[in-house]
Structure 1
């Protein structure tokens, strides 16, 4: 039976069509024929939705009026995330993701001229280390797929899928670590590759953490840019003796590519407006004004896009001082970032990723020296600090960059073929 294989990623999404005979066909998802659709949603008004590149174009054309969503996958394991208001209607996370999945299915059905209702969906090795949250995330993803029109939904861990894709041309027995570094998650599978069929015993270790490219960008915002939006804001209420600081909960939202859009919600907006009245100095008030412009004009996506570009530039030119600049009516940022300081501040994120990687060795009782190859996939695998850490652990000669963006959807397709 025909299937779709969908890699719904935090940053990018891909889809393959597997026909009855087992032939795998990548499906172009963008109008220009690109197979990668950025996991972005924009709705300027009720009933109108735009996706990927067009979401960005329409966001700019509409001067940010509407709701712009990115990194939706990050909300799946959050039990306290009930949804958000979209054009005066509360939408659950399952509904938002279903809008995106339904469009994927529509574009694929138009391309294949088939109505395919069976899907193999990728999922992180762990949506969350908490089992209840992990199950909640998968249940939500299943419900979103059902709302999108799929009737048979099968999940496959993304790093396992990358391993299956890596293995399709393998002819020898070896132990391989599949390391999938995406936008939202870092996933790891330690597996034994060999000829013939596979069993569960060939999966030696499986681990993951919801820390990857977005977390690196969030830490950059936190340590270098957020002060321009009032993260060091201080205020004192009338007749109060204590100097109060910018709320940590709101700082966490400001420093998250997924959550920053929620600073616009009514209760948060009114709270920020209220505390601004009690600013202890004009400079603090000015910085909060910049935050209001950021939120009101929905500049979360462009500011984090600039932060991502800074990450790429600093990694590419680690010996040069970097000047982060962002200008918009009401916002003027000119922040020098030393590559040395940048790497020091970001190291806390890399440490969390590497700690998760090491979990697979505790599970398997194997040592790092037992690994024959390390297969690197996912866009964040190209980040210099990650590569440096892996090189120190395993040796540069064992690292293999493999199908950075396509390995997961390729492996999901191989998994679909094995189902029949």
Structure 2
């Protein structure tokens, strides 16, 4: 049996099409959204792993709010060779040490798919073991296959995996990403693996449901990327793809814009003596996965020094609390909740309380739209590009299909309405 997998940055889904009926596989039957598996992996110190909402729940129970306790470990010696003043080199032995968080019971991984964009990323060390990127992808893909087999009651050995139009605008990195994903799918138990650009799912769905020929634009805006497809669909002829285009902007980027707005609570406006608060620390705060980097002992000493010199020592204490008590994921979940709420309300309340952090903000839709001005322009430019590649004008498009969580955000809906007409959306 051949499955279709929408392997998403934020969420994943599986479906089966028998030529007449599309069946979506329930992946988490007890969840509010049973057809969706959050693309999360929690790996314990013993190297057990949990996926989806279960990963999120266990991480929240075990890790959120606990103190980070770094300890330095001796890991061995290595030989160093440098040029000498004479005829031969100077050789000496150097001891090597590594730091680890002794309080951690596990590690949560989110947006693993995004790592495929990085042509140099090989994997990550989790406690005493190094996991390659394809090993991490296998955990998600194998679980999706197994849950589908349990539901279907038969082996699922073939798969079509949706992929972004571009993992990267660098062709070599793009090819490497697909090769890694292909290898992971084979390791996950699929004997035959095929790829299809992510917007093609919506394209074919509209094709089989349209009795007449139409020109369709698919606007597929997920957590990691935005993909466009323009195609002629419907009627008795097969779909005809006129153009595809992808831009490297997604819902995670929009979350970071809200976090950037909240940096005022974490020292963005503070001065350390005559200097501004270090940009590299603020930059690491924009992604909860990089918070552990600034919880290390050298930063703890730095923050202690900052509090004595800063114009806002309370904000420095908030940074310390955020990174030293593993609060980043919880804060970003609240940010994501507010972002979603702003798709349906003119304003939303953001609340995050953990001594000494106290954030209570009313964020309006208008404020949010100002925060994401750059991303809106990137999306508008991408829309112009795909129309140009297809050699069509906005009035030539008969219908616009939106898919992906970020496609619900009103400013992007308005952009599409202004370009093509609200009656086509």
> In which range does the TM-score fall when normalised by the shorter chain?
0.7 to 0.9
- 2:53 maps to 53
| Counterpart among 5, 28, 31 of residue 30 in structure 1 | 28
User: Distance between the aligned counterparts of 1:23 and 1:398, measured in 2?
Assistant: 26
Residue 310 of structure 1 aligns to a residue whose secondary structure is helix
Identify the structure with the greater strand proportion.
2
Secondary structure class of the residue paired with 2:342: helix
Corresponding residue for 1:211?
Answer: 249
1:137 Cα shift?
Answer: 1.9
Map Cα deviations across residues 21-43 of structure 1 (whole Å, 9 max, x no partner).
88653221114271211112222
What runs of 5+ residues in structure 1 fail to find an aligned partner? 237-241, 400-420
Pair 1:299-2:327 in alignment: yes
Q: Work out the CA distance in 2 between the residues paired with 1:339 and 1:173.
A: 38
1:349 matched residue in structure 2: 375
Bigger radius of gyration: 2
Q: Are 1:228 and 2:265 matched, yes or no? A: yes
**In structure 1, what is the Cα distance between the partners aligned to 2:122 and 2:276?**
29
- 5 Å matches for 1:340-419? 340-399=366-425
Whether the aligned pair in 2 keeps the contact of 1:29 and 1:37 (CA below 8 Å) is yes
Q: 1:14 to 1:314 in 2, by over 3 A?
A: closer
Partner of 1:73: 113
Aligned to 1:243: 275
- Residue 12 of structure 2 is matched in structure 1 by 13
Unaligned runs of 5+ in 2: 65-103
Moved more, 381-390 or 102-111: 102-111
Structure-2 separation of matches of 1:87 and 1:235: 35
Rounded Cα–Cα distance in structure 2 between residues aligned with 1:118 and 1:353:
34
Measured after TM superposition, the shift of residue 104 of structure 1 is 1.3
Q: Identify which range, 322-331 or 134-143, moves more after superposition.
A: 322-331
Does the 8 Å CA contact 1:127/1:209 hold for their aligned counterparts?
no
Report Cα offsets for 1:34-68 as digits up to 9, x if no partner: 12111122223323222222122212221434211
Are 2:161 and 2:196, in contact at CA under 8 Å, matched by a contact in 1?
yes
- 1:76 aligned counterpart, secondary structure: helix
In terms of mean alpha carbon deviation, does 93-102 or 323-332 score higher? Answer: 323-332
Q: Report deviation, 1:392.
A: 1.0
Alignment partner, residue 3 of structure 1: 2
Which TM-score applies when normalising by structure 1?
0.83
Aligned-CA RMSD value: 2.5
Kindly indicate whether residue 137 of structure 2 is the aligned counterpart of residue 109 of structure 1: no
Deviates more, 1:147-156 or 1:63-72: 63-72
CA distance in 1, matches of 2:188, 2:317: 40
Contact 2:227 2:246 in 1 (8 A): yes
User: Contact 2:6–2:13 (CA<8 Å) still a contact in 1?
Assistant: yes
Specify whether residues 295 and 80 from structure 1 end up closer, same or farther in structure 2 by C-alpha distance, changes over 3 A only: farther
Structure 2 distance, partners of 1:80, 1:227, is 33
Tell me if 1:255 matches 2:286: yes
Q: CA separation in 2, counterparts of 1:226 and 1:93?
A: 31
Q: What is the CA–CA distance in structure 1 between the aligned matches of 2:304 and 2:120, rounded to whole Å?
A: 30
The partner residue of 2:161 within 121, 130, 136 is 121
Q: Calculate the TM-score normalised by the size of structure 2.
A: 0.82
8 A Cα contact 1:188 1:360, kept in partner: yes
Instruction: Decide which of 135, 156, 174 is 2:175's aligned counterpart.
Output: 135
Call closer, same or farther: CA 1:289–1:192 in 2, change over 3 Å.
same
**What are the Cα deviations for residues 114-165 of structure 1, in whole angstroms up to 9, with x where unaligned?**
3322111000111122222222221221122123222211000011221011
Matches of 1:206 and 1:71, distance apart in 2:
23
Deviation at 1:196, TM superposition (A): 3.2
Higher helix share: 1
Call closer, same or farther: CA 1:142–1:297 in 2, change over 3 Å.
farther
Q: Residues 16 and 323 from structure 1, CA distance in 2 versus in 1: closer, same or farther, beyond 3 angstroms?
A: closer
Task: Tell me which residue corresponds to 1:410.
Answer: none
Counterpart check, 1:314 vs 2:354: no
Is the alpha carbon distance of 1:339 and 1:99 closer, same or farther for their aligned partners in structure 2, counting shifts above 3 Å? same
Cα distance, 1:332 vs structure 2: 1.9
Looking at both structures, which has the greater relative contact order when contacts are Cα pairs under 8 Å and sequence separation is at least 6?
1
| Kept after mapping to 2: 8 A contact 1:232/1:246 | no
How far off is 1:271 after superposition? 4.6
In the alignment, structure 1 residue 85 sits paired with structure 2 residue 125 = yes
Separation of aligned partners in 1, 2:127 and 2:136 = 13
